[in-house]
Amino acid sequence: MTATERSLPRRVAASIVRKPSWRHNLGLVGVLASKNIKLRYKRTSLGIAWAIAQPLVQATVLTVVFSRVFGTAGVEHFGLYVLSGVMPFSATSSGFQSATVSVVENAGLLKKVALPRLIFPVSAVIGGLVPFGAALAVLLAITTLEGALSIDVLLLVPGVLLVVTLATSAGILGAALYVRMRDIRFLIESGMLLLFYASAVFYVPERLGGLADWLRLNPMMGVLTVFRAAVTDRPIDWTALTYTLGLTVILLAVGLTVFRRRADDFADLV
């Protein structure tokens, strides 16, 4: 009887991941995240200053374009409205996308060292917090300049937590799928573009009339409403937020399940 003819037994092997030590694993996430950040600004002459410069340029362009060219759509602080949409959107989107490719991009490490696999997508999202934090600093500065600063800015804290959780949850699922199906990357890129236009980033949802309710199927709406409540006087859209929270929990559960089931085979597939 040849080896291939024997039937497959049930998996009895213990997981290859060493006994969990949260402190150790968090340390590894920190190491990888700071490596990502260092790499991001390596060989640039401005270095980490780009983290501030980039959102500044973005804010200036968007404010000029939307207040001078398209008009303000009757919204006070329209520049703030647009920025508080663009910034969390791009943070979520880039966190999600870099987490998705993180496992494959770390193939060299993965094939050599026994590391808990989850540290790759998690550190990819955490590493993105530096540019996001810088962008929020710019946002805060503009809010202050515009005289729109209020106690509501504290909402930025749960807002950031929501961005991290959503990007991580989606990224874990994305990473588990991307190892096997490289098409995922392009699907996600196209999907995020679609979501961008369905997210009322540079228009107010009310302009869509009855269609506005459909926008809430887009989980990004729940993220954006928190940031907008923080820096403009728009109230939180609790329906959208609840939906987004629910979806995040589901994504996290599904993502972790698929990821855990596949993690032991990553080294053979990347």
Nearer to other proteins, 8 or 69 (CB): 8
The yes or no reply on residue 69 touching other proteins (CB under 8 A) is no
Shortest Å, Cβ 94 to other proteins: 19
The yes or no reply on residue 39 touching other proteins (CB under 8 A) is yes
Contact pick of 83, 86, 110, 155 for other proteins (by CB under 8 A):
110
Contact pick of 20, 45, 112, 151 for other proteins (by CB under 8 A):
112
Helices (H) and strands (E) in the chain, counts: 12, 0
Q: Which of these ranges, 71-79, 165-173, 176-184, 221-229, lies near other proteins under the rule CB under 8 A? A: 176-184
Q: Which of these ranges, 44-52, 75-83, 106-114, 225-233, lies near other proteins under the rule CB under 8 A? A: 106-114
Query: What Å distances lie between residue 81 and 23, 62, 91, 121, 224, CA to CA?
Result: 39, 10, 16, 30, 10
CA distance 20 to 4: 35
CA distance 104 to 25: 19
Shortest Å, Cβ 51 to other proteins: 17
- Give 134's contacts (C-beta < 8 A, 6+ positions apart): 51, 52, 54, 55
Q: Half-sphere exposure (CA, 13 Å, Cβ side) for 57?
A: 6
The yes or no reply on residue 261 touching other proteins (CB under 8 A) is yes
CA distance 173 to 181: 12
- Under 8 Å between Cβ of 179 and 203: no
CA distance 37 to 41: 7
Contact pick of 52, 247, 256, 258 for other proteins (by CB under 8 A):
258
CA distance 69 to 178: 40
Q: Which of these ranges, 56-64, 161-169, 240-248, 256-264, lies near other proteins under the rule CB under 8 A? A: 256-264
The H or E element that residue 212 is part of is helix 212-215
Count of positions on this chain that bind other proteins (CB under 8 A): 41
Nearer to other proteins, 137 or 258 (CB): 258
Site of interaction with other proteins (CB under 8 A): 3-4, 6-9, 11-18, 27-28, 31-32, 35, 38-39, 42-43, 108-115, 177, 180-181, 258, 261-262, 264-265, 267-268
